[in-house]
Amino acid sequence: MEVAFILTREQGRVIRARTGFYDVQHGETILRCTLRGTLKRRHRSETGRRIYADPVAVGDRVIFTQLDPEEGVVEDILPRETKFSRQYAGKQGDIEQVIVANADQIVAVASTFMPPLNFRTLDRFLILAEAGDMDAVICLNKMDLVDAAQQEEHTTIFTNYEKLGYQVLYTSIYVPESLDAFREVLRDKFSVIIGASGVGKSSLLNAIQPNLGLRTGEVGIKTQKGRHTTTLVELFALDIGGEVADTPGIREVGLWGIDTENLEYYFPEMEPYLGTCKYNDCAHVAEPDCAVQDAVETGEIHPERYRSYVVLRAGEATEI
Ligand SMILES: Nc1nc2c(ncn2[C@@H]2O[C@H](COP(=O)(O)OP(=O)(O)O)[C@@H](O)[C@H]2O)c(=O)[nH]1
Ligand SMILES: [Mg+2]
Ligand SMILES: [Zn+2]
CATH of the domain at 294: 1.10.40.50
For residue 90, what are the CA distances in angstroms to 38, 86, 87? 21, 12, 9
Assigned domain for 255 exists? no
Assigned domain for 4 exists? no
Assigned domain for 86 exists? no
Q: Are 236 and 244 in contact (CB under 8 A)?
A: yes
Ligand 1 atom closest to the CA of 145, numbered from 1 = 1
Note whether 237 and 269 are same-domain residues: no
Q: Domain range holding 294?
A: 260-313
Q: What pLDDT score was predicted for residue 5?
A: 62
Note whether 107 and 239 are same-domain residues: yes
Residue 219 in contact with ligand 1 by CB distance below 6 A: yes
Note whether 66 and 162 are same-domain residues: no
Residues 6+ apart with CB under 8 A from 145: 111, 112, 113, 114, 172
Residue 173 in contact with ligand 1 by CB distance below 6 A: yes
Strands 93-101 and 83-90: antiparallel
Q: What is the CA radius of gyration of the chain?
A: 21
Assigned domain for 318 exists? no
CA of 216, nearest ligand number: 1
Q: Among candidates 129, 77, 134, which has minimal Cα distance to 256? A: 129
CA of 200, nearest ligand number: 1
Strands 190-194 and 105-111: parallel
Where among 79, 109, 127 does a domain terminate?
79
Q: CA 193, CA 201: separation in Å to the nearest integer? A: 7
Q: Are 140 and 172 in contact (CB under 8 A)?
A: no
Q: What beta strand segments (E) does 121-276 contain? A: 135-141, 167-170, 190-194, 233-237, 243-246
Note whether 239 and 268 are same-domain residues: no
H or E stretch at 153:
helix 148-163
Determine the average pLDDT of the residues in 4-20.
83
Question: Which one of 127-131, 150-154, 182-186, 223-227 scores highest in mean pLDDT?
Answer: 182-186
Note whether 111 and 222 are same-domain residues: yes
Q: What residue's CA is closest to ligand 1, atom 14?
A: 200
One DSSP character per residue, 89-149 reads: EETTEEEEEEEEES-SEEEEEEESTTTTP-HHHHHHHHHHHHHTT-EEEEEEE-GGGS-HH
Q: CA 149, CA 154: separation in Å to the nearest integer? A: 9
Q: What 3-state DSSP class applies to 258?
A: coil
Q: How confident is the model at residue 222 (pLDDT cuts 50, 70, 90)?
A: very low
Q: CA 43, CA 56: separation in Å to the nearest integer? A: 10
Q: What residue's CA is closest to ligand 1, atom 23?
A: 217
> Please, what is the average pLDDT of the chain?
87
Q: CA 92, CA 22: separation in Å to the nearest integer? A: 24
Summarised one tens digit per residue, pLDDT across range 84-132 is: 988 777 676 778 888 899 999 999 999 998 888 989 889 999 999 998 9
Number of domains in the chain: 3
Note whether 107 and 233 are same-domain residues: yes
CATH code of 64's domain: 2.40.50.140
Assigned domain for 94 exists? no
Note whether 20 and 157 are same-domain residues: no
Note whether 214 and 290 are same-domain residues: no
CA of 219, nearest ligand number: 1
Note whether 242 and 265 are same-domain residues: no
Assigned domain for 92 exists? no
Residue 140 in contact with ligand 1 by CB distance below 6 A: no
Hey, which of 121, 169, 216 would you mutate to test ligand 1's pocket, going by the most ligand atoms within 8 Å of its Cβ?
216
Q: CA 232, CA 248: separation in Å to the nearest integer? A: 7
Q: What residue's CA is closest to ligand 1, atom 22?
A: 217
Q: What pLDDT score was predicted for residue 225?
A: 43
Ramachandran area for residue 27 (φ above 0: left; ψ -120 to 50: alpha; else beta): left
Assigned domain for 84 exists? no
Residue 59 in contact with ligand 1 by CB distance below 6 A: no
Note whether 157 and 36 are same-domain residues: no
Q: What residue's CA is closest to ligand 1, atom 7?
A: 200
Residue 205 in contact with ligand 1 by CB distance below 6 A: no
Note whether 236 and 145 are same-domain residues: yes
Note whether 225 and 283 are same-domain residues: no
Q: What pLDDT score was predicted for residue 318?
A: 57
Residue 179 in contact with ligand 1 by CB distance below 6 A: no
The distance from CA 140 to its chain's CA centroid, rounded to whole angstroms, is 16
Q: Are 109 and 204 in contact (CB under 8 A)?
A: yes
Determine the average pLDDT of the residues in 26-53.
80
pTM, 2 dp: 0.89
More confident residue, 116 or 239: 239
Q: Assess whether pLDDT exceeds 70 at residue 250.
A: no
Assigned domain for 30 exists? yes
Q: Assess whether pLDDT exceeds 60 at residue 2.
A: no
Q: How confident is the model at residue 78 (pLDDT cuts 50, 70, 90)?
A: very high
Q: Are 11 and 222 in contact (CB under 8 A)?
A: no
